[in-house]
Amino acid sequence: MSVSVWLALILFLLMVLIGGSKGARSFIALFFNFGVLFMTILFMTDPNADPIILTLIASTIISCITLFFINNVNNKTITAFISTIITITILIFFIVIVTDDAMIQGFSEEEIEEISMFSLYLGVDFVKIGASMIIMSTIGAITDIAISIASPMREIIHHNPLISRKDLFKSGLSIGRDILGTNTNTLFFAFFGGYLALLIWFKELSYSMGEIVNSKVFVGEMITILCAGIGVALVIPITSWITSYTLVKTREKNESSKRVR
């Protein structure tokens, strides 16, 4: 058996032992999400397809799998799902503008030599492809933060049923602030860890600091990190507001129905 298969088996066993049935569903969800990403890439090769629309559809499906398949359908997953979709919709149009203005679309100088034997006339919009790549890189973090805020907020109103909407919203923001710093660092080191070999290559090619900072690959990674951070920051107040509104509205509805009885 290959190393990849052994590592997958170890991961599966650990997820089942620690997470139980939810851990097993999480492991299966990885393969479902991979299938969605793979199909999205195939559809993007069609010149008539719009990568932005495909990304929104793929992000919606991935969010459904991550939230509803793993955590079932309930108050917290529904509010987390709505918050995720709203955040991604806002973020994707912002990213398209940034990607176009920064001109990071297409292939960099470092990649040209390796692909010189292939045709570069692919007939796709690389500005939109670049925006789609950034969104796909951040969807996991945004979904994770949305459920990480919605879940404790539901626990708060369960243990303190008389809490006001304003106080519940503030509690959501407080939870989000604790998550924000660590999650932003996680994104930063995840992206740079993946490009550590590239940075070493830059060093071996005797690139100056100015050439590294202005290279298309480096700028593209920095924009991805910064846009991911913006998405992480945006989803906190959005999730806090939607969750507080939904939970208090549900409580008021239940109270009014009890009075009628």
pLDDT, tens digit (0-9, with 9 covering 90-100), for 74-119? 888 889 899 999 998 888 878 777 776 666 555 555 555 555 554 5
The angle that helices 126-159 and 51-64 make with each other, rounded to 10 degrees, is 30
What mean pLDDT value characterizes the chain?
79
User: What single string gives the DSSP state of each residue in 155-175?
Assistant: HHHHH-TT--HHHHHHHHHHH
- Whether residue 254 lies inside any domain: the answer is yes
39: which residues sit within 8 A by CB, 6+ positions away? 58
- Whether residue 64 lies inside any domain: the answer is yes
- Whether residue 145 lies inside any domain: the answer is yes
Per-residue pLDDT at 244 exceeds 80: yes
The 8-class DSSP code of residue 84 comes to H
Q: What pLDDT shows up at residue 177?
A: 85
Q: What is the pTM of this model?
A: 0.79
Alpha carbon distance 96, 161 (integer Å):
43
Q: Can you give the CATH number for the domain in which 127 is found?
A: 1.20.1640
Q: What pLDDT shows up at residue 242?
A: 92
Alpha carbon distance 129, 52 (integer Å):
8
Alpha carbon distance 54, 105 (integer Å):
18
50-62 per-position pLDDT tens digit = 888 888 888 889 8
Q: What share of the chain has pLDDT > 70, as a percent?
A: 81
Decide which of 176 and 181 is more confident.
176
Which of the residue ranges 6-10, 43-47, 50-54, 148-152 would you say has the lowest mean pLDDT? 43-47
Tokens of 75: 């108050």
Label residue 55 exposed, middle or buried (CB < 10 Å: 0-12, 13-18, 19+).
Answer: buried
- Whether residue 92 lies inside any domain: the answer is yes
- Whether residue 116 lies inside any domain: the answer is no
Q: Which domain holds residue 249?
A: 21-111+121-260
Q: What pLDDT shows up at residue 239?
A: 92
Which of the residue ranges 26-30, 123-127, 187-191, 209-213 would you say has the lowest mean pLDDT? 123-127
**Average of per-residue pLDDT across 10-31:** 85
- Whether residue 12 lies inside any domain: the answer is no
User: What single string gives the DSSP state of each residue in 86-136?
Assistant: HHHHHHHHHHHHHHHHHT--S--HHHHTTTTTS-----S-HHHHHHHHHHH
- Whether residue 5 lies inside any domain: the answer is no
Alpha carbon distance 47, 210 (integer Å):
36
Q: How many domains does the chain have?
A: 1
User: What single string gives the DSSP state of each residue in 8-49?
Assistant: HHHHHHHHHHHHHHHHHHHHHHHHHHHHHHHHHHHHHTSTTS
- Whether residue 3 lies inside any domain: the answer is no
Q: What pLDDT shows up at residue 142?
A: 87
Residues counted in the chain: 261
